[in-house]
Structure 1
């Protein structure tokens, strides 16, 4: 299995700070790189993180607030400059197509034909392994889920009981039957791994659906609970609410990010304390250039 990990390029919300760049997250997933919400400065953060333009296969924008998209011009121009050969799929809310075009052609540069545009609309949209769901924010915003197809886990004792060994095991997996023995008799279902990316939103059904059972959830925690009214007004989550989502959805590994500039590293224990009021699983408080592996498969 190829390496699956999250490379965190930026963790601030509307205003970057001395220690936190605007948003930017690269999910490495089986040879594909999903770049979510490249905010201002993402191209430089990629250099610091050892991420090249060739590592990007998808550019996924949740919405068109600046901290989630102002890095697009630099990233695309770098893709062109470095002569990336593979297709790069750009996924973004269809309602923001005018903003996309302005970002896409923000300056004079030698253009590239590898960018494939995939605007999404409606409540549910899918593009290959990527699913988008409409969230609750003052502007149209989408969350994303990357899903591996389900598979099966072979049971050695069942294979041995039926005398299936060597090349016959591969044949059973490919065809579903060997000498009258079906795959179902020698295996059990194995759910595919999944990761979800949820940025600016209030609590809504789509948040829980995107997070349902995922191995890795990257989610905004813009405010602490003392700013609950402000969070609701501006369409954001608190750390407690992010933990609530993780607990109810059965998330394995939780990554909190998109912190308001009003908070510093000294506030991290308070964020963790709030999350622990609702979620007792594994938690990472994101910092720029941190790497978070996707948890190993459940057996």
Structure 2
């Protein structure tokens, strides 16, 4: 199992199909789990994907249209049933608090899971998670909607040849990383002498929205971008009217933003052949492209360089 991967639980838009469940995306990141937009049926999709409810540490809703949130009651109730021991933080548009309350307590059950509510009221930093900094940006949709980005802090990459030359080995390597300086015999070794900068990795999640400034801002230099592509370019007028993106627009943003792996999803049921999304996106984006399917696993790409 990859330490950093996206587990695709559903890829449909307003209406599910025989092969596409409503939305659901679990980002697994070094032991942390971020569940985005659990649509109807997410609990069962998690079961099929081999993902336990205990794998989730944060739930993030972009907005309160049903295909992005109607699975929340089942997920939360399953957490109580499974006795999930750690707290789970829920992020969602603050303007939809009444809807969250209804979903959170949709039916009577033994409410044992600790769900901490942290609604989103505007752009900016949401949390300092062990996985990195979590941010939100307001999108453009008929109801208030937010996109999310996770950014790992920058770090350093240790250089074996320089470590050997400086006489640093074994537990002393970790000590040098923690303290930044190490005395080796008569010499003082500084971290910068035996390491190179290592930019933190970035993940971005952009769901229901027409084109707006937040889309490229969230996508900027993402190692993995999950973005809606509800329509094809031939139906761009519909996309604009209903607050969505086309595959071409999503791919163009990814190319301009320097995205490494692009995951297209949230496909309208009007299109029978997913190859059309691949063909259209390839006109704009020549990087790693995934036209998502249900229960697919997409690894976060290895660090560049």
TM-score in terms of structure 1 length = 0.95
1:124·1:134 contact (CA, 8 Å) conserved in 2?
Answer: no
In the alignment, structure 1 residue 191 sits paired with structure 2 residue 199: yes
> Structure 1: which 5+ runs fail to align?
none
> CA deviation digits over 1:212-261, x for unaligned, max 9?
11111111000000111111111110000110111011111111000001
Q: Which residue, 128, 133, 140 being the options, matches 2:144? A: 140
Q: What is the aligned partner in structure 2 of residue 150 from structure 1?
A: 154
Return the alpha-carbon distance in structure 2 between the equivalents of residues 192 and 235 of structure 1: 32
Number of residue equivalences: 297
Q: What is the aligned partner in structure 1 of residue 278 from structure 2?
A: 272
> What's the secondary structure of 1:6's corresponding residue?
strand
Any residues of structure 2 matched to 1:206-245 within 5 Å, and which?
206-245=214-253
User: How far does residue 170 in structure 1 lie from its aligned partner after superposition?
Assistant: 2.3
1:125·1:133 contact (CA, 8 Å) conserved in 2?
Answer: no
> Structure 2: which 5+ runs fail to align?
none
**What is the aligned-residue RMSD (CA, Å)?**
1.5
In the alignment, structure 1 residue 281 sits paired with structure 2 residue 282: no
Return the alpha-carbon distance in structure 2 between the equivalents of residues 16 and 2 of structure 1: 28
1:2·1:31 contact (CA, 8 Å) conserved in 2?
Answer: no
User: How far does residue 57 in structure 1 lie from its aligned partner after superposition?
Assistant: 1.2
Q: What is the aligned partner in structure 1 of residue 300 from structure 2?
A: 294
> CA deviation digits over 1:116-152, x for unaligned, max 9?
1110111223222321111111111111112221110
In the alignment, structure 1 residue 87 sits paired with structure 2 residue 95: no
> CA deviation digits over 1:174-217, x for unaligned, max 9?
11112333211221110111211110011222111211111111
2:11·2:23 contact (CA, 8 Å) conserved in 1?
Answer: yes
In the alignment, structure 1 residue 176 sits paired with structure 2 residue 180: yes
> CA deviation digits over 1:245-294, x for unaligned, max 9?
11011111111000001012x2x222111111111001111111111111
> CA deviation digits over 1:19-60, x for unaligned, max 9?
111101111111111111011111111111111111111111
